[in-house]
Amino acid sequence: MRQVAFLLLILGAQIGRAQDSLQTNIPVHDPVMIRQDGVYYLFATGRGVAMWSSRDMKNWKKEKPVFSTPPKWAVKAVPGFKGHIWAPDILFYDGLYHLYYSISTFGKNRSCIGLATNKTLDPGSKDYAWTDHGKLIESVPGRDEWNAIDPNLIVDGQNDPWLAFGSFWNGIKLVKLAADARSIAQPQQWSTLASVPRTKPGSDSTAGNGAIEAPFIVKKNDFYYLFASYDYCCRGEKSTYKMRVGRSEQLTGPYLDKDGTPMTKAGGTLLMEGDAEWHGVGHNAVCTFDGKDYLIFHGYDAKDKGRSKLRVEELHWKAGWPVIVKQ
């Protein structure tokens, strides 16, 4: 009987490999999702920007990455970068899909945010082709005490594009973009949205321990909501990632938590943190499909040696604040 069970297990594994386009527990980091023509597309950290597709948000097909080779401008701009691109963001704006992506090396703020656009997300379409527009924003050690990674595009009530971004250093930034969303608007308009004081200060070239990153802003009724990830990602079983949120009547802030503490002073109402099943959870996006809001994020699976995997939870709202209702 054991031999039969073993053979069935092997056969199942072979079938799984033959049908590896269908995966319900996919290994992703820093995911963001969008839908086109009934198909969900997921973009995540990976070589060339990882891309997946699905018709039900459960069974995922691995697509070819956005970039088949590392962008030449990025290799020149960031020493040590070899093609592993972080934390993309995707939005349909001004008739094109805009994909913002992060170029960096771990723990450094010699970083850049790039932009690529496409008419369609369907790899089978004759119009499918990514156009890379190169560098949009960069941070430079010795000049900037912020880090140009983790972009999120948000369009305000006047249809003006803004980019939120940031990781560690002195926190989350917001900058207004030009109307085509491909450069910084002039005169420049910058804001600091959230930060965590560094009790062990770094410098302009070292992060210190002010662990906050991965901003994502959504408008809901009368407020803008800023989601951010606090504490430490990328440590497998030792990850302490968690998501917090604040809100503001103005896109540029100030963002306050439920207690009225500004997010610029380490505020932020806890939305979700790790538990016995997931060591840490974070780097979220918020997406709306068919009138329902979803939290798209990754977690470190306690049942699989802390490996990072996709999680999708329906996002509810209670008394003006987002909540996750556990089943």
At 229-261, the pLDDT tens digits run 998 888 888 888 999 999 999 999 999 999 999
Residue bearing tokens 């971004």: 165
Tokens linked to 88? 């993309």
Q: What pLDDT is recorded for position 198? A: 76
At 172-207, the pLDDT tens digits run 999 999 999 999 999 999 999 999 987 765 555 555
- The alpha-carbon radius of gyration of the chain (Å, integer) is 20
Three-state SS string across 284-327, please?
EEEEEECCEEEEEEEEEECCCCCEEEEEEEEEEEECCEEEECCC
Q: What pLDDT is recorded for position 207? A: 58
Kindly name the residue from 150, 213, 231, 301 that is annotated as catalytic: 213
Whether 88 and 44 have beta carbons less than 8 Å apart is answered as yes
Rounded to the nearest 10 degrees, how much is the dihedral formed by the CA atoms of 217, 218, 220, 222? 40
The parts of the chain modelled with pLDDT lower than 50 are 1-22
Distance between CA atoms of 305 and 303, rounded to whole angstroms? 6
Give the residue among 179, 150, 184, 180 at the shortest CA–CA distance from 32: 150
Catalytic, 314? Answer no
Kindly name the residue from 30, 144, 257, 313 that is annotated as catalytic: 30
Is 249 strand, coil or helix? Answer: coil
Catalytic, 30? Answer yes
Q: What pLDDT is recorded for position 142? A: 85
